[in-house]
Structure 1
């Protein structure tokens, strides 16, 4: 292993020669720390080193403690035993990420021979003696002698038409060695980023606040990967009047200072990530934002933000209980044009607090897929001799042929994960989509597969398409089998908790193996050879994995025919394991309850019938069909004992309930008396209601949703607290035939007599 200070010195020398913009920050500790996560690198005393919220090491600590790092023993041994490996890796990376005009010079500066035509001696000569020493030591260690085969391999690679967009996609996920563009710092400088960036709806509001007549402090917080820094980048470009399509010419500074667009005497500050600063510096920056002239946009993870605001308020006794107030604001959902409810007015300047974790990013994440599909850089593939059968191009063409269907079905999956599992960050979605676009395949690998294939036409790319098909990669599969390394993607981990692609129904299963194809959807011509291959494999006894792959393919790529819409809806609902998901998604997308008046009434009644079951313990079938009352009974909370007779605490008419839509939370609600009490109808609850009404008595609700129903019951009782007649007693009782009847009694308190109410 070698000292970090050595790596730092050599990398900064290369920055000075080939990328001067990087010298401003000299973040040489980024690759030093990131390589460790790839299993190729080890760092001295790694577990005790400080790290930021996104995993970066502290450069000052690495230098102060003289930390060493280097390849693991087995990797180092492999590199020294076969010195051509380092050469092939280096030249392959250089050919993908550096202009042809720089490649020879760069190879010369790191001490490796080049197969490209050398430039003049003055251009190839390194900057100082220390670099020359580095050349010699590197050459002696890794590169001499080089077999002629390696030289030939590199020469061939440079002649290939390689699309940088594919390398960019592969850098967005952590499958393999490259994850360089997963963070916003890298995206700001990347030429491909602007076309896949989907603007957040809050950007306009933030710009309006920052450029308003008086100064504000805007705090943008949330989880790592929610897109906070990307929003800050968009805000910076808009206020400076920069083109959203162009990358920045230099990395974002710790604090960017921008002239106010309407007043040259005012300034706007953008603090790109307060979480990376020490506690003392964080407090200093926060005090500066409130006390000095100018508006501020502060980006921070939630934990450091709360700690800093608490310390700031403790120095000002006029700001009591600040933490609970901030938490209340952080928990507020954001609705478009509703900025005022997020402004806290207890500081020297009004502070706008926006929590990215409370934004609905499902639609935004799905739209990124369409941007990936339509990226203009795909045009570079037209010049490649393999483009007609390239598996990467075929994958993209098949997605494009769905005409937006793929985006919609990806959005459905994200809606389900969001409702049933956990909320994905935008970074996690993008990583999954990028992997599904390429399967981790490079341009070079794709071209070799096509050129080496003995098949004809687009079938030359079928073998490769098996390894990169979007419907497989999206769910973490390849050739019908789970991809082990894809398990590192959070979205794939969550998807694997469910079994997507299981059997649907007898008719659908019969069509999977039929040579006539399925009767409800068609696949594009780009997929037909692969679909036929999987159909034949699925007919064999060990063909289960191929039938699963077929179902996933139909889900993503199948285009319903005119007469197959009803079958398609059944297929999608079964595949998604959620009968109400597509309705829920439509309402969230349109931000309104789009159903007919009759359907609204039926859904409201279905909700109340299921609530009647849960609150009383009796099944809906035990009540009369014309039962139009909701009984709130005194019942054991553990539900462990059957109670054939129950005391009724309150009776509510179904007519007092209706459905509405909660726009900020993007879900329907069951409301009592025009909103006096509201029950959020989450997707799991809607699916449970739908399944119970359909007769599926085996479905169960998670405890968190049962607790929500108990809260609704308690709120109804609270609202009705003083309205019931304490001299009227009502009991629910199940007879010997199982039917439930209400028995009403009147209590004559003076005579101490209980009478049956007629």
Structure 2
């Protein structure tokens, strides 16, 4: 039997078992397969250009798994200063390309506190000698190292100021030279970098044909789920990549960003299920292709059963929390009632249809019988997982599915990010937002006759009041929705279009996916909507600004009352004079 060592490498990239010796970048780099799958990031060229322009102290910080060490490797490899594929803990090297010395630190976490202070001092000092340095550190060790440096080599700057300087640079992440105490550094926070843009190239590299040659020659390939996963994904690559990228985009936009390591962990596990070539040789289970298929593994399932080990992979845990395979899909009726599996790709259809037919023989045609069976429910969920990843989707059906799975506005948001909208499209979005704002402030849906003004009354939360004291109003003609292109100094691929809500008297307000989804729920009549804390803060901030800027100015001798009638809103003016109330 042929053994493909690439399979062993893929198994080592996830944390679903204890044999993940390559699940950290430092171990990956020394593996010959790393060079085959790694994705060069444009931010590496940005850093090289900065070093070319002038001596620099570059600090790469962020969360564990954000690709800091991999980026260091990419830079050093590009500058041709590495011997083989190994990186020392810290080293001073000479670059002929740049005609300068470079001091690098692979990972501050590998050093004790004294060493951290020493290498930080060396990284800062080399700039004064005409060289540059690249220092990799997670946030915690970096803060402690700068504190230790100030305590060992005092410059008269307070520890608090140093902390504030670092945190400010991490938060802004502008790619400019900034001050930490009295030191000039170029700090790049990898935790603020969009990792989703890397996913298409990463999947392509993992499926590169040259890495699967041994599998194509193996005598066990007909029964090998790993090879079938490779073939299945290749057969439907565009749709598989679209869904995976969309899922990671959803997490990113809802404040659940994944690191590169977490993304790689899920995808590699979904290909192999941590099976080895020997496992496949010895397994004779007729359902092995189904149990270990990509559509099950990606969701953390072994067939129709959840795999507890897979839940160690955060991206799988997040996916199971969403319960996407429990949601009704457009082709459910065709598959479950008519038993028409033609929507699935050929490779997947040949695996799943016989299992469905065999299992369904044990049930009566009564829908109640099927609904009561746990096995039948789980099998339907497995078929949905197959629909999601291996359906023959066109652009419209993919958009429809994403809206059903994530949010009714998700496909619209992806379109907003990727291309410039037409004026009618912008106008339609504005109309929706105006209606949502009206309902948010007034508590009642907007009638067609109300489209020229949004009232700002005193309104109790979660309670529609037919009579309200009016504090101000916004003319809808003063509300604008603009689409602005946001660029990244690090990587042009990170550029995207962003919708912004603008008012004549208020600063622009970015429309995130969560805010767009919230507006849509308000329009649809959601009485109560559970908000993400950051979104809740943003909505409250927007309301506060609008009340502040658009309330009636100066002393008002009259009180305006907003009354909601069956014919629409009516404004009544009350004037109190000589202990009497006059109604206008």
Alpha-carbon displacement from aligned partner over 1:410-453 (angstroms, at most 9, x marks no partner):
0111122223362111111111111111111111222344xx57
1:320-359 → structure 2 map (5 Å cutoff): 321-332=161-172, 339-340=175-176, 343-345=177-179, 350-359=184-193
Match of 1:604 among 426, 430, 441: 430
How many angstroms apart in 2 are the aligned matches of 1:753 and 1:668? Answer: 53
Which residue does the alignment assign to 1:554? 387
Q: Secondary structure at the match of 1:614?
A: helix
Q: Secondary structure at the match of 1:298?
A: strand
Displacement of 1:184 in angstroms is 1.2
Contact 2:57 2:184 in 1 (8 A): yes
How many angstroms apart in 2 are the aligned matches of 1:328 and 1:412? Answer: 31
How many angstroms apart in 1 are the aligned matches of 2:22 and 2:218? Answer: 25
Match of 1:670 among 500, 505, 510: 500
Displacement of 1:532 in angstroms is 3.7
Contact 1:344 1:353 in 2 (8 A): yes
Contact 1:173 1:434 in 2 (8 A): yes
Displacement of 1:736 in angstroms is 5.2
Does the alignment pair 1:477 with 2:293? no
Q: TM-score, normalised by structure 1?
A: 0.68
Match of 1:202 among 18, 34, 43: 43
Does the alignment pair 1:240 with 2:75? no
Which residue does the alignment assign to 2:493? none
How many angstroms apart in 2 are the aligned matches of 1:557 and 1:728? Answer: 67
How many angstroms apart in 1 are the aligned matches of 2:570 and 2:223? Answer: 70
Which residue does the alignment assign to 1:512? 335
Displacement of 1:730 in angstroms is 6.2
How many angstroms apart in 1 are the aligned matches of 2:134 and 2:239? Answer: 38
Does the alignment pair 1:273 with 2:103? no
Alpha-carbon displacement from aligned partner over 1:270-327 (angstroms, at most 9, x marks no partner):
1111122222222222222222322111111111212322444562225772322321
Instruction: From the superposition, tell whether residues 193 and 731 of structure 1 become closer, same or farther in structure 2 (CA, over 3 Å).
Output: farther
Match of 1:579 among 408, 419, 432: 408
Contact 2:57 2:124 in 1 (8 A): yes
Q: Secondary structure at the match of 1:215?
A: coil
Which residue does the alignment assign to 1:657? 480
Alpha-carbon displacement from aligned partner over 1:129-160 (angstroms, at most 9, x marks no partner):
xxxxxxxxxxxxxxxxxxxxxxxxxxxxxxx2
Instruction: From the superposition, tell whether residues 707 and 633 of structure 1 become closer, same or farther in structure 2 (CA, over 3 Å).
Output: farther
How many angstroms apart in 1 are the aligned matches of 2:401 and 2:581? Answer: 58
Alpha-carbon displacement from aligned partner over 1:159-217 (angstroms, at most 9, x marks no partner):
x21101111111111223310111111111111112221222311111111232x2111
Instruction: From the superposition, tell whether residues 442 and 302 of structure 1 become closer, same or farther in structure 2 (CA, over 3 Å).
Output: same
How many angstroms apart in 1 are the aligned matches of 2:358 and 2:335? Answer: 10
Contact 1:333 1:664 in 2 (8 A): no
How many angstroms apart in 1 are the aligned matches of 2:199 and 2:224? Answer: 26
Structure 2 unaligned blocks of 5 or more: 364-369, 489-495
Contact 1:513 1:538 in 2 (8 A): no
Does the alignment pair 1:690 with 2:520? yes
Q: Secondary structure at the match of 1:303?
A: helix
Which residue does the alignment assign to 1:38? none
Alpha-carbon displacement from aligned partner over 1:246-283 (angstroms, at most 9, x marks no partner):
xx63531111322133454x301111111222222222
Q: Secondary structure at the match of 1:256?
A: strand
Q: Please identify the structure whose Cα radius of gyration is greater.
A: 1
Does the alignment pair 1:544 with 2:377? yes
Contact 1:211 1:260 in 2 (8 A): no
Which residue does the alignment assign to 1:525? 347
How many angstroms apart in 1 are the aligned matches of 2:549 and 2:231? Answer: 58
Instruction: From the superposition, tell whether residues 259 and 703 of structure 1 become closer, same or farther in structure 2 (CA, over 3 Å).
Output: closer
How many angstroms apart in 2 are the aligned matches of 1:495 and 1:670? Answer: 30
Does the alignment pair 1:316 with 2:139? no
Q: Secondary structure at the match of 2:484?
A: strand
Cα root mean square deviation, aligned: 3.1
Contact 1:685 1:705 in 2 (8 A): yes
How many angstroms apart in 1 are the aligned matches of 2:382 and 2:28? Answer: 34
Contact 1:196 1:375 in 2 (8 A): no
Which residue does the alignment assign to 2:95? 260
Contact 1:370 1:404 in 2 (8 A): no
Q: Secondary structure at the match of 2:340?
A: coil
Alpha-carbon displacement from aligned partner over 1:479-530 (angstroms, at most 9, x marks no partner):
121111111111122222221111416x6332122455257x3413354232
Displacement of 1:654 in angstroms is 4.2
Does the alignment pair 1:249 with 2:84? yes
Contact 2:41 2:71 in 1 (8 A): yes
Q: Secondary structure at the match of 1:501?
A: helix
Which residue does the alignment assign to 2:511? 681
Greater length-normalized contact order (CA 8 Å, ≥ 6 residues apart): 2
How many angstroms apart in 2 are the aligned matches of 1:738 and 1:625? Answer: 10
How many angstroms apart in 2 are the aligned matches of 1:747 and 1:718? Answer: 25
Instruction: From the superposition, tell whether residues 728 and 597 of structure 1 become closer, same or farther in structure 2 (CA, over 3 Å).
Output: farther
Which residue does the alignment assign to 2:280? 446
Which residue does the alignment assign to 1:724? 553
How many angstroms apart in 1 are the aligned matches of 2:559 and 2:121? Answer: 63
1:276-291 → structure 2 map (5 Å cutoff): 276-291=110-125
How many angstroms apart in 1 are the aligned matches of 2:497 and 2:357? Answer: 40
Does the alignment pair 1:217 with 2:40? no
Does the alignment pair 1:492 with 2:316? yes
Contact 1:370 1:407 in 2 (8 A): no
How many angstroms apart in 1 are the aligned matches of 2:390 and 2:309? Answer: 24
Match of 2:444 among 604, 619, 639: 619
Q: TM-score, normalised by structure 2?
A: 0.86
Displacement of 1:699 in angstroms is 4.7
Instruction: From the superposition, tell whether residues 741 and 359 of structure 1 become closer, same or farther in structure 2 (CA, over 3 Å).
Output: farther
Instruction: From the superposition, tell whether residues 274 and 546 of structure 1 become closer, same or farther in structure 2 (CA, over 3 Å).
Output: same
Instruction: From the superposition, tell whether residues 233 and 754 of structure 1 become closer, same or farther in structure 2 (CA, over 3 Å).
Output: farther
Match of 1:229 among 69, 84, 96: 69
Q: Secondary structure at the match of 1:377?
A: helix
How many angstroms apart in 2 are the aligned matches of 1:744 and 1:686? Answer: 35
Instruction: From the superposition, tell whether residues 186 and 538 of structure 1 become closer, same or farther in structure 2 (CA, over 3 Å).
Output: farther
